[in-house]
């Protein structure tokens, strides 16, 4: 679509009241035409009349398969947004998705990942953002019409006739309630206004406090939140489905206030929003700014999406909701929901049995290769996955699914991670997906200050309970306690191996060479299982000071020689230098205290320079080279990676394309002569 005169051929996925409004917007747009409707009940009376000119197709898949559809508007209930947006992107269709874009920011990020890979457009349909009233409001704030903004008050609340368990707004399985249905309007508006006050497109709150009443179906029937923004701007927002509110946006400044009734409809309805802004200043008459818009309310977002698609952009232009903007709003909604304890049943393991795309988990992926490590019954993936940052099954399973489908089977956990939630999440996922036998679990325990032999068995029992498993495959003491004879630790781990609760390797995380040598010697002398693995820091950059107390690096020449001589497997944490090989670091970048303290030395910068040079030659990034360096060691070396998003995971996997020779490794280590052929 290179011609600006060519119209976007829209298909609507799912009929409904909002879908009908969108169809009216398409009819009055400059850039689009409605050509098809995908319906699960195509014989339902009235569809042809409600969607004039659209071919009525049997089901959503038929819509995505239709070659005459360029873009899809998704208007089904919230839980289906991520699945069908991902499927649409995979089918090469552009997507405008009703709000909320997804149930969580994690789901939205996965949708963006799919669109980014497919090269398709993805937009969130907050229609108010594209109405001229919004830009007028922003300009008033920027001009100082009410002085400096101090507070924002906004509500979107209505009262249903009564509790209606069959209605989507009260249905837990459809993610009902006010926060997701209408709470995004005041949240996104507050972020927009707070941004305008400081000259930014939007800003994120640094604090979110929420409260809500959860009704008999478990959804929020009325809820409020306080948002605190940098610059001391406070927003009071509320929403409801069982309570009428005045629904007036109020922006309070040092020289007056602005009021906007029903800002999401621009003071009108789903057909036309004329636009009305009232400015009230002390000692002055109320100023009414009327925009007198007559275009269909939804035509603005249709044209904004159409213009983006025709221009080859993948997201809406501001003041529309771009990807970062949508993620920001959803992160606030995530915090709001977490604050009130609102997790839908459909987000929990019992109901979330498929991947986010709606498909069963696929096995036998080959992107991540595997290797055999002596002492382990299964080959393990070249990269191990850490996932400490997730606090719900629905968020963590997205990354776990993607890693497994790429061929990953090695999962790094620890007794102290997330106060135990990391282990519980993995246990839920392994059981839910039925892949325990194909997976290899790394467990860690006896972290400081509880670093004693008698703690190992007690914590391992708790770990196995959380993991819903009877054994782990690899076990590490998370820290060492030099005040305890090393043999006592070996005895404790050996006892767990003999009991069948460790069925593979055990060893130390953040242990010194001397203690490992002593532990191995003790085991050999006393007929115990020998410590057979380490989990120490190892990367192309040497850790100059411990990141955390008790940490040990294995990146020195002496360590490399020891690991090679012993052929000791090392499961390397912070294998990419925690940002040292990205633009966050540099000889002139001293704003990050941890980077400076832990990694900054001329020796490390020399290695970083060579990684940059080699990356440029290979068409990769320095972090890819740094990860490939860890993989290319002359001893078993398994990097632990901790991506937070699918993009980060996929980016890490690019390192697997790089095959470094021993000469490459030596040059990266020491330079100065490049030895790569």
**Residues 6+ away with beta carbon under 8 Å from 322:** 315, 316
**Residues 6+ away with beta carbon under 8 Å from 533:** 373, 375, 474, 476, 505, 506, 507, 568, 569, 570, 571
| Distances from the Cα of 315 to the Cα of 85, 89, 96, 259, angstroms | 14, 13, 10, 30
Q: Cβ distance 69 to 93 under 8 Å?
A: yes
Q: Cβ distance 396 to 385 under 8 Å?
A: no
Nearest to 473 by CA among 487, 462, 463: 463
Q: Cβ distance 631 to 637 under 8 Å?
A: yes
The token duo for 262 is 């029903």
Q: Cβ distance 157 to 239 under 8 Å?
A: yes
Active site residue 99: yes
CA distance 568 to 375: 11
The token duo for 378 is 């299964």
Strands 149-157 and 248-253, bridge-based pairing: antiparallel
Nearest to 40 by CA among 75, 79, 85, 91: 75
Peptide bond into 319 cis (omega under 30): yes
The β-bridge partners of 149 are 253
Q: Cβ distance 650 to 639 under 8 Å?
A: no
Which of 99, 335, 560, 620 is the catalytic position?
Answer: 99
CA distance 122 to 85: 8
| Distances from the Cα of 582 to the Cα of 579, 587, 595, 625, 654, angstroms | 5, 12, 11, 11, 15
Question: Among all residues, which ones are annotated catalytic?
Answer: 99
């Amino acid at each position: 679509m290179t011609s600006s005169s060519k119209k976007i051929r829209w298909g609507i996925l799912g009929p409904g009241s909002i879908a009908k409004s969108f169809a009216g917007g398409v009819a009055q747009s400059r850039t689009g035409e409605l050509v098809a409707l995908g319906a699960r009940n195509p014989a339902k009376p009235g569809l042809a009349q409600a969607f004039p000119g659209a071919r009525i197709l049997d089901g959503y898949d038929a819509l995505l398969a239709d070659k005459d559809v360029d873009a899809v508007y998704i208007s089904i209930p919230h839980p289906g947004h991520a699945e069908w947006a991902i499927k649409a992107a995979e089918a090469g269709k552009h997507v405008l998705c009703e709000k909320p874009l997804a149930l969580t920011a994690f789901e939205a990020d996965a949708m963006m990942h799919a669109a980014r890979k497919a090269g398709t457009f993805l937009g969130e349909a907050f229609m108010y953002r594209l109405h001229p009233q919004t830009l007028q409001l922003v300009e008033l704030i920027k001009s100082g019409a009410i002085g400096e903004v101090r507070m924002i008050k906004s509500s979107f609340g209505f009262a249903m006739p009564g509790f209606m368990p069959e209605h989507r707004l009260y249905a837990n399985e459809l993610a009902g309630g006010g926060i997701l249905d209408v709470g995004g309007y005041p949240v996104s508006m507050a972020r927009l206004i707070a941004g305008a006050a400081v000259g930014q497109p939007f800003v994120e709150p640094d604090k979110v406090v929420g409260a809500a009443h959860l009704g008999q179906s478990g959804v929020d029937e009325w809820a409020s939140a306080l948002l605190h923004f940098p610059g001391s701007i406070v927003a009071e927002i509320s929403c409801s489905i069982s309570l009428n509110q005045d629904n007036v946006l109020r922006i309070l400044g040092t020289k007056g206030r602005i009021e906007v009734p029903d800002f999401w409809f621009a003071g009108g309805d789903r057909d036309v929003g004329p636009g009305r802004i009232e400015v009230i200043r002390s000692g002055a008459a109320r100023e009414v700014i009327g925009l007198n818009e007559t275009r269909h309310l939804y035509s603005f977002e249709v044209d904004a999406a159409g213009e983006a698609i025709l221009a080859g952009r993948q997201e809406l232009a501001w003041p529309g909701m771009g990807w970062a903007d949508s993620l920001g709003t959803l992160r606030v909604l995530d915090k709001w929901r977490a604050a009130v304890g609102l997790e839908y049943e459909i987000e929990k393991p019992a109901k979330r049995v498929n991947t986010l795309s709606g498909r069963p988990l696929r096995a036998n992926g080959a992107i991540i290769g595997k290797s055999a490590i002596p002492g382990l019954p299964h080959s393990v993936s070249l990269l191990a996955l850490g996932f400490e940052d997730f606090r719900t099954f629905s968020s963590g399973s997205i990354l776990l699914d993607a890693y497994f489908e790429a061929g990953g089977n090695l999962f790094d956990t620890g007794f102290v991670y997330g106060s135990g939630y990391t282990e519980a999440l993995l246990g839920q996922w392994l059981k839910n997906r039925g892949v325990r036998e194909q997976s290899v679990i790394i467990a860690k325990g006896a972290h400081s200050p509880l670093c004693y032999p008698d703690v190992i068995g007690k914590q391992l029992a708790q770990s196995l309970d959380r993991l819903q498993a009877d054994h782990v495959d690899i076990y590490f003491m998370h820290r060492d306690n030099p005040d305890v004879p090393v043999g006592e630790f070996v005895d404790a781990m050996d006892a767990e191996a003999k009991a069948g609760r460790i069925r593979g390797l055990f060893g130390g995380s953040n242990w010194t060479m001397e203690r490992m040598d002593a532990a191995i010697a003790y085991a050999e002398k006393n007929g115990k299982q020998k410590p057979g693995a380490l989990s120490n820091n190892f990367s192309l950059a040497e850790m100059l000071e411990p990141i955390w107390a008790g940490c040990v690096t294995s990146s020195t020449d002496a360590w490399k020689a020891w690991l090679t001589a012993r052929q000791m497997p090392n499961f390397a944490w912070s294998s990419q230098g925690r940002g040292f090989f990205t633009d966050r670091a540099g000889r002139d970048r001293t704003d990050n205290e941890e980077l400076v303290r832990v990694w900054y030395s001329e020796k490390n910068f020399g290695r970083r320079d060579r990684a940059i040079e080699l990356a440029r030659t290979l068409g990769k990034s320095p972090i890819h080279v740094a990860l490939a360096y860890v993989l290319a060691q002359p001893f078993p070396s398994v990097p632990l990676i901790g991506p937070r998003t699918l993009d980060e995971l996929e980016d890490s996997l690019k390192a697997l394309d790089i095959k470094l020779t021993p000469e490459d490794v030596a040059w990266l280590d020491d330079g100065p002569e490049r030895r790569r052929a």
